[in-house]
Amino acid sequence: MGTRLTEMLIEKGYSVAHLGRSKKEGKVKSFVWSVDNFVIEPAALKGITTIVNLAGAGVNDKRWTAKRKKEILDSRILSASLIYQELKKGHHHVTSVISASAIGYYGVDASKIFTETDPPANDFMAEVARKWEDQVEKIRSLDVRLVKFRFGIVLSNRGGALKEMEKPIKLFAGAPLGTGEQYISWIHIDDLCEMIIKAIEDEQMSGVYNAVAPYPATNSEITQVIANILKRPLILPNIPAFILNALLGEMAFYVLNGNKVSPAKMLEAGFRFGFEKLEDAVKNLLK
């Protein structure tokens, strides 16, 4: 995500700096912070007008033990808190902060289409998103413009959900998960990056926006589209829920359920998608 956003920003003539756990050599300036130790390199904000905060431990990287769930939550809360504390010191030129959140905020419910005004659910991912956003919200008190994007499932050819779904299909072992009827609110990575760039440029944008494409699709539909583009048959039956529960533990709940989320607010802000339809998005990424 950060890599692709950096590429697109540089293509548009922006100067970009990275903030991470270690300094990296390359064309992009690199600064160091330690969320655990609550320190940030003093020169990191020099000349910076906008912060894009994408920090957070990968939700799907490891099985959800109690320790891992704490890492997922703490990585988001502490990074947002560190940014707030650093901005609170003053002596910077930051006018805007754009922060990631997630549509997990809404929970799972196939009976409605969620908008930004809907309340948070009560499950783990909703708790993470709510606490994340609450911590980020403190930045607004510093007279800094704040935009929070609730990311859907990001489709990319560099990793993430699409690559994981592509692997078994390539091996003729692809199949829908559970009933296959669970909805996935997805977005092409380039559209997500364009949303962030619009938020950087459009000073009228403020508050929460859903970062999803206009047409959510079911797990079965996505699986079939990938198979069609890869020219692979789907010959196996759906993978039963009990197998996913055994393999994934608590995480299986979110794999077997989904939600439909509306991007109407982004459209009203003037955003135009490059990839509205699932087939066009997947075809572009798997070409």
Phi-psi category of 90—alpha, beta or left, where left has phi over 0 and alpha has psi -120 to 50? left
Q: pLDDT band for 287, please (50, 70, 90 cuts).
A: confident
What is the per-residue pLDDT across 91-148, written as a single tens digit (0 to 9) for each? 899 999 999 999 999 999 989 999 999 999 999 999 999 999 999 999 999 999 999 9
Domains of the chain: total: 1
Let me know: does 41 contact 33? Beta carbons within 8 Å. Answer: yes
pTM, 2 dp? 0.96
What tens digit of pLDDT does each residue of 23-56 get?
888 889 999 999 989 999 989 999 999 999 999 9
CA-CA distance, 56 to 79, in Å (whole number)?
8
**CB of 149 closer than 8 Å to CB of 100:** yes
The CATH code of the domain that includes 161 is 3.40.50.720
**pLDDT value of position 26:** 83
For residue 86, the enclosing domain spans: 2-286
Task: Indicate the Cα dihedral angle 129, 141, 21, 160, nearest 10°.
Answer: 30
Average pLDDT over residues 63-89: 96
**Which tokens is 145 given?**
């413009």
Q: Looking at the DSSP assignment, which residues form a beta bridge with residue 98?
A: 52, 147
Q: Give me the pLDDT at residue 178, please.
A: 98
